[in-house]
Structure 1
Amino acid sequence: MTFAPLALAGLSHHTADIPALERFRFPDEEVFLQRAREHFKGVLLLQTCNRVEVLVQGDGRMLAEFLHEQGKSGFFVLEGAAVPRHLLGLAAGVDSLIVGEDQILGQLKRALALSQSTGTCCNLIELCVTKAVHVGVRVRRLTDINRGAVSIGSAAVGLAEQLLGTLKDRHILVVGTGEMGMLVAQALAAKDLTAIYVTNRTPERAEILAGKIGGKAVKFDDLYRYIALSDVVISCTAAPHPVIHAPEIGKVMEERLWPLDVSPRHLILIDIAQPRDIEEEIRSIEGVHLFTIDDLRQVSDATLSSRKAEVDRAHAIIAEEFDQFVMQMKRSAADETLGLLYTWAEAIRTRERDRALHRLGTADPRMASVVDDLTRSMTKKLLSDMTVAIRASAECGDLTTAEALVRAITQGEPLCFRTDE
């Protein structure tokens, strides 16, 4: 099952913990894409809370060498048919930390858009991501795989509810107003809370999100004041560094100690940002309970057990779509190979057409049109059988023969077929 070389490498929640993911992350995605494009025909970078993956049109060995040059290690590498199979499972939600979550579809689309805008995409990668998203949508339409906690955000709310027994009459602070902040806020809005506070470095965004869920927007400068007032803090900013620091939390916990209390009121901090929003040292502060994406696995396991049948149905759809996906990739490879043939033929056609018109010595537009139509028709007919042979070779998985045929035609290279005795 051979088609244009395709490889994928990276880390995910299956193979790495949060610190490893943070070390593997590429902070400047555009710079990375441009650098990778110097080595591969196409490249796409997918970075989410629980995975960093690089997809290239190229071979796995070269991709591994390139990532090693970038100082990365410990990653997995997929090649050949394993790549489209992985992409289908990824888009379907069966490979996610929170099985069935919908956010991966938007994340794949944004990764493709960035690759396209930076000029680092290629036809094959565009086909792969577009097809994977299509299958992901189909899986969600035909199954209930996204029933229940279907995002990191909603899982964080579920974890908070599990830890406290109930969220009724509690005070919750959401730090961050991006996509994840929106998901957290929406999940919280369904609970019977006393107050939902929303903060962000951009006050207008906090106002907008708070307005949508009936919460209260607070200034980011008052972050620790509202942490002191809250039972649970869920942080999910896009900051490249921690925004909640241990010394300040130590002071917050002093404020939460009433005169007759022997210990401060408990504070639950849930960090679902990537990179991390909350300093790890905070774990050592009395009364503080810090949870990260790794701790959401228990929520994922609970929702997975209730959706086991839906996961099985999703895998059946993936298997059904896989062969069609591979055939599309082979056709894409055939079209790419044929493009070289037709570019070569068109250059010859236009050159000979212009020579003929020059020899005729006429400026008659009708004559020029007839000659152009004649040369175009002859070229098409001459290439017809070759096109069928090249496309058939590629669609049968023999891209090597297809490429050899084109080189033989366009460059005069001899066709050498090995025969095993």
Structure 2
Amino acid sequence: MPEPFTTPLALAGINHHIADIATLEAFRFPDETAFLHEARERFRGALLLQTCNRVEVLVQGDGRSLEGFLQEQGRGGFTVFEGEAVSRHLLELAAGIDSLVVGEDQILGQLKRALAAAEEAGTASSVIGLCINKAVHVGVRVRRQTQINRGAVSIGSAAVTLAEKLLGTLRDRHILVVGSGEMGLLVAQALAAKDLTAIYVANRTYERAVVLADKIGGRAVSFKDLYRYIALSDVVISCTAAPHPVIRTEEIREVMEERLWPLDQHPRHLILIDIAQPRDVEDGVRAIEGVHLFTIDDLRSINDAAMGSRRSEADRAREIIDEEVDHFTRLLRRTAADETLALLYTWAESVRARERDRALARLGEKNGRTAEVIDDLTRALTKKLLSDATAAIRASAEYGDIATAEALMRAITRGEPCSQNDE
């Protein structure tokens, strides 16, 4: 019995549309490799995408199975997509119109890294690879044919915009960037365009802080001096990949005592912008006088402003996505058809080998050359006889005529009629 000419796909997870940062943090999977290994036991393919704004799982399987799997993992409150909705969601995601900051480019790299992790874990089936590569391709096309990524288009640049909004201006300010990864680079690049008095860069690996600081004309500082430089700064933007907070409440309390001059009644204000996931800053700092903590949730206002200026570009992106969804669906059907056609060729090869052996037995010859010629002949005949039939089956499946594709398969492998009259 041939496999169905369909590829079941399901995607589930949460994102900034339905969850705040605390919910996202609780939903995350700290050990991505272990998660993928468990998923490998349940699904033909699986991919885990975890960013600042979303945790989503894509599987080659059905939605009910994925829902049950995530519930077994202790997760709830997620949304499940199946079928064409998965394709559309992936394309909107890669295009940047589903992002917290509309049009941001970082999602393309994040999708590629998620696929690389799935490949390393052995969960990147051909279908999963097709989905991600197609999504990235469409994301690039959208950015090439629209201006959706014009302006502040990353969480990092949005954090800088927020800091500027809070202070009125960044001119002559002291800014500390904690973390020198991709997000730290985006923050630093956005800050470099401002007329700052000083940009400090702190990272656990000092050499990496030096590299980033050199790129933007800042100053690298040792991580052991972190709180000293927090005390000197007007704004701290933290974006490390640490699994636990690196800016703690008690240390910040001491920092604020340093920021209180003898004749002042209140300490100088300190703005902490935490764009890490998991969070870098302990929530307890909110209770300290003079400290103002902002997280990814607070960047939604930046996105709302950006969306106003990019609405027409997002509409154009959706037009492109509408075009691409149909093509995406045909690609998935073709992939499913090719998997099913592999069974047809396996069946044909068994018939060919059996009849070849019978012919050689009837000839009663032990001549190796004769066996070679007959083997080549039967192989060529099988390929030619199946060529037109497989093309018809593949085309039928690709354009959604599954009944015809299945009827053709049964007619070839079982001798069943392609159609039956009721009369």
Q: Same fold (TM over 0.5)?
A: yes
Partner of 1:206: 209
Partner of 1:341: 344
Mean alpha-carbon deviation: is it higher for 399-408 or for 79-88?
A: 399-408
Partner of 2:400: 397
CA distance in 1, matches of 2:266, 2:415: 82
CA distance in 2, matches of 1:45, 1:417: 44
Q: Decide whether aligned partners of structure 1 residues 336 and 51 sit closer, same or farther in structure 2, where only a CA change above 3 A counts.
A: same
How far does residue 321 in structure 1 lie from its aligned partner after superposition? 1.5
CA distance in 1, matches of 2:31, 2:407: 39
Alignment of 1:372 onto 2:375: yes
Alignment of 1:322 onto 2:320: no
CA distance in 2, matches of 1:332, 1:129: 14
2:221 to 218, 223, 229: 218
Aligned identity (percent) is: 72
Alignment of 1:289 onto 2:292: yes
Whether the aligned pair in 2 keeps the contact of 1:100 and 1:147 (CA below 8 Å) is: yes
How far does residue 396 in structure 1 lie from its aligned partner after superposition? 3.4
CA distance in 2, matches of 1:259, 1:351: 97
Alignment of 1:245 onto 2:236: no
Partner of 2:55: 52
Q: Decide whether aligned partners of structure 1 residues 373 and 184 sit closer, same or farther in structure 2, where only a CA change above 3 A counts.
A: same
How far does residue 146 in structure 1 lie from its aligned partner after superposition? 0.3
Partner of 2:163: 160
Could you list the per-position Cα deviations for residues 87-106 of structure 1 after superposition, in whole angstroms to 9, with x for gaps in the alignment? Answer: 11111000000000000011
User: Aligned with 2:50: secondary structure?
Assistant: strand
Partner of 1:179: 182
Q: Decide whether aligned partners of structure 1 residues 396 and 261 sit closer, same or farther in structure 2, where only a CA change above 3 A counts.
A: same
CA distance in 2, matches of 1:392, 1:266: 66
Partner of 1:109: 112
Partner of 1:300: 303
How far does residue 141 in structure 1 lie from its aligned partner after superposition? 0.5
Letter aligned with residue 223 of structure 1: L
CA distance in 2, matches of 1:418, 1:9: 42
Following superposition of structure 1 onto structure 2, how do residues 1-16 of structure 1 map, counting pairs within 5 Å?
3-16=6-19
Q: Decide whether aligned partners of structure 1 residues 247 and 376 sit closer, same or farther in structure 2, where only a CA change above 3 A counts.
A: same
Whether the aligned pair in 2 keeps the contact of 1:22 and 1:275 (CA below 8 Å) is: yes
Letter aligned with residue 202 of structure 2: T
Could you list the per-position Cα deviations for residues 246-266 of structure 1 after superposition, in whole angstroms to 9, with x for gaps in the alignment? Answer: 000000000000111110000
How far does residue 414 in structure 1 lie from its aligned partner after superposition? 7.7
Partner of 2:70: 67
Q: Decide whether aligned partners of structure 1 residues 416 and 281 sit closer, same or farther in structure 2, where only a CA change above 3 A counts.
A: farther
Following superposition of structure 1 onto structure 2, how do residues 125-164 of structure 1 map, counting pairs within 5 Å?
125-164=128-167
CA distance in 1, matches of 2:405, 2:39: 27
User: Aligned with 1:325: secondary structure?
Assistant: helix
Alignment of 1:170 onto 2:156: no
Letter aligned with residue 85 of structure 1: R
TM-score, length-scaled by structure 2? 0.93
CA distance in 2, matches of 1:128, 1:418: 38
How far does residue 413 in structure 1 lie from its aligned partner after superposition? 11
CA distance in 1, matches of 2:57, 2:248: 32
Whether the aligned pair in 2 keeps the contact of 1:4 and 1:399 (CA below 8 Å) is: no
Whether the aligned pair in 1 keeps the contact of 2:411 and 2:418 (CA below 8 Å) is: no
Partner of 2:85: 82
Q: Decide whether aligned partners of structure 1 residues 134 and 213 sit closer, same or farther in structure 2, where only a CA change above 3 A counts.
A: same
CA distance in 2, matches of 1:313, 1:226: 45
Q: Decide whether aligned partners of structure 1 residues 229 and 144 sit closer, same or farther in structure 2, where only a CA change above 3 A counts.
A: same
Whether the aligned pair in 2 keeps the contact of 1:268 and 1:290 (CA below 8 Å) is: yes
Alignment of 1:96 onto 2:99: yes
How far does residue 394 in structure 1 lie from its aligned partner after superposition? 1.7
Whether the aligned pair in 2 keeps the contact of 1:340 and 1:406 (CA below 8 Å) is: no
User: Aligned with 1:218: secondary structure?
Assistant: strand
CA distance in 2, matches of 1:114, 1:255: 45
User: Aligned with 2:177: secondary structure?
Assistant: strand
CA distance in 2, matches of 1:127, 1:109: 12
Could you list the per-position Cα deviations for residues 29-83 of structure 1 after superposition, in whole angstroms to 9, with x for gaps in the alignment? Answer: 1111111111111111111100011011111011101100111000000001101
CA distance in 2, matches of 1:206, 1:252: 22
CA distance in 2, matches of 1:288, 1:338: 64
Q: Decide whether aligned partners of structure 1 residues 352 and 196 sit closer, same or farther in structure 2, where only a CA change above 3 A counts.
A: farther
Alignment of 1:268 onto 2:266: no
How far does residue 8 in structure 1 lie from its aligned partner after superposition? 0.4
How far does residue 385 in structure 1 lie from its aligned partner after superposition? 4.8
CA distance in 2, matches of 1:289, 1:333: 53
User: Aligned with 1:307: secondary structure?
Assistant: helix
Partner of 2:22: 19
How far does residue 160 in structure 1 lie from its aligned partner after superposition? 0.4
CA distance in 2, matches of 1:65, 1:419: 43
TM-score, length-scaled by structure 1? 0.93
Partner of 2:31: 28
User: Aligned with 2:335: secondary structure?
Assistant: helix
Size of the alignment, in residue pairs?
417
How far does residue 384 in structure 1 lie from its aligned partner after superposition? 3.4
Whether the aligned pair in 2 keeps the contact of 1:198 and 1:216 (CA below 8 Å) is: yes
Letter aligned with residue 178 of structure 2: V
Letter aligned with residue 333 of structure 2: K
Mean alpha-carbon deviation: is it higher for 355-364 or for 380-389?
A: 355-364
Whether the aligned pair in 2 keeps the contact of 1:8 and 1:79 (CA below 8 Å) is: yes
Root-mean-square deviation (CA, aligned residues, Å) is: 2.3
CA distance in 2, matches of 1:418, 1:373: 38
Letter aligned with residue 235 of structure 2: V
2:312 to 309, 314, 317: 309
Q: Decide whether aligned partners of structure 1 residues 10 and 268 sit closer, same or farther in structure 2, where only a CA change above 3 A counts.
A: same
How far does residue 379 in structure 1 lie from its aligned partner after superposition? 1.4
Letter aligned with residue 321 of structure 2: I
How far does residue 352 in structure 1 lie from its aligned partner after superposition? 4.7
Q: Decide whether aligned partners of structure 1 residues 362 and 28 sit closer, same or farther in structure 2, where only a CA change above 3 A counts.
A: same
